Amino acid sequence: MNHFLDIHKTDAVELHQIINSAQQMKDARAGRTRGALDDDLPLKDRVVALIFEKPSTRTRISFDVGVRQMGGTTMVLSGTDMQLGHGETIADTARVMSRYVDLIMIRTFDESVLMEMAEYADVPVINGLTDRTHPCQIMADVMTFEEHRGPIKGKKVVWSGDGNNVCSSFLHAAAQFQFDLTFTGPAQLDPEDEFVGLARKAGSKVVIERDAVKALTGADLVVTDTWVSMHDSQSSKERRHNMLRPYQINEELMSHAKPDALFMHCLPAHREEEATSAVMDGPNSVIFDEAENRLHAQKAIMRWCLGV
Ligand code: CP
Ligand code: NVA
């Protein structure tokens, strides 16, 4: 049994195997309807609990559909509907749920909730996003890059904007998949020092560059995310927008990347804020492939967690 808590906590060889398995499962489903079962049904007779303490479109639907395609069943739970929201400890919740379900995916605020769930659950726990990281997203992103451009190893990835939870998981992936990461954004929103250090220690070149044009020059992949995350207070919105405006990904800025550079955004996006529609819908954008690959990557993650 394996938990999938963060990319840097998972063995690099196994991460590559998960991506390969995701691509194989995707290829095997070509031409099928979304609801059609896979040929093999590794989750037959298994129940997966999906807990959401924050909103979600992609994570909720892709996990649910993925489990069904592999022959399992799901229950989607909101934290507030459970006793979790009324003071029952995470540890007790984890022990109880382990008597009912085969796997738990949780999207929560504080990372400590995820870690406590993993510590006390007897079944695998998957991180479906915390305030600090979003590993399933970056597995889909690496898969998407490699599907379009081959190995990501040695490539220049540029993160523009807020050094947030998604950026953190990109730094973890830089360490494990051995690519270089340039962060461009305001100093107040720099990525966590600990994660920058972790990527550097693993041999990735991590550059912090305030000048967005310099940062994007020669990029193989340009990534951005919302300027106000779910865990950020709405009162910080105007201040964040003012700081982040120079880092909007528009056609002019994108023209400094390599001509075949890919553009990614985990979505949901605020069009004309962090990125323009011209870029999001332009020839370099793979945002909807990324969204689709959440499904395939997470199916492979669940199989790895359960060893099936
Ligand atoms: N990218 C992502 O995790 O989207 P949702 O918040 O819709 O799940
Ligand atoms: N950084 C965003 C990602 C959403 C998928 C957030 O945490 O709200």
pLDDT tens per residue across span 215-226: 999 999 999 999
Give the span between the Cα atoms of 181 and 12, in whole angstroms. 17
pLDDT confidence band for 212 (50 / 70 / 90)? very high
Q: In the block, which residue shows the tokens 């880092």? A: 247
Average the pLDDT over 122-151 and give the result. 98
Q: Is 75 helix (H, G, I), strand (E, B) or coil?
A: strand
Residue nearest atom 6 in ligand 1 by C-alpha distance: 56
The number of beta carbons lying within 10 Å of the beta carbon of residue 239 is 10
DSSP code at position 23: H
Q: Among this protein's residues, is 24 annotated catalytic?
A: no
pLDDT confidence band for 57 (50 / 70 / 90)? very high
Backbone CA torsion sign across 183, 186, 187, 190? negative
pLDDT confidence band for 79 (50 / 70 / 90)? confident
Cβ(229) to ligand 2 under 6 A?
A: yes
Cβ(165) to ligand 2 under 6 A?
A: yes
Q: Which of 263, 253, 255 is nearest to 224 (CA)?
A: 263
Q: Among this protein's residues, is 137 annotated catalytic?
A: yes
Q: Considering 6, 68, 225, 305, which one is annotated as catalytic?
A: 225
pLDDT value for 80: 86
The answer on whether 164 is annotated among ligand-binding residues is: no
The answer on whether 283 is annotated among ligand-binding residues is: no
Asked if pLDDT for residue 47 goes beyond 80, the answer is yes
Give the span between the Cα atoms of 133 and 109, in whole angstroms. 10
Q: What is the distance in A from the centroid of ligand 2 to the CA of 77?
A: 19
pLDDT value for 87: 86
Q: Among this protein's residues, is 225 annotated catalytic?
A: yes
Copy the structure tokens of residue 298.
């997470």
Query: Looking at the whole model, is its pTM more than 0.90?
Result: yes
Q: pLDDT tens digits, residue range 87-96?
A: 899 999 999 9
The answer on whether 17 is annotated among ligand-binding residues is: no
Helix and strand element counts for the chain (H, E): 12, 9
The answer on whether 107 is annotated among ligand-binding residues is: yes
pLDDT value for 85: 74
pLDDT value for 51: 97
pLDDT value for 86: 83
DSSP code at position 191: P
Q: Considering 29, 240, 294, 303, which one is annotated as catalytic?
A: 294
Who contacts 37 (Cβ-Cβ below 8 Å, separation ≥6)? 68, 69, 70, 71
Give the span between the Cα atoms of 202 and 194, in whole angstroms. 12
ipTM value for the complex:
0.99
Cβ(178) to ligand 2 under 6 A?
A: no
Closest atom of ligand 1 to CA, residue 129:
3
Q: Among this protein's residues, is 266 annotated catalytic?
A: yes
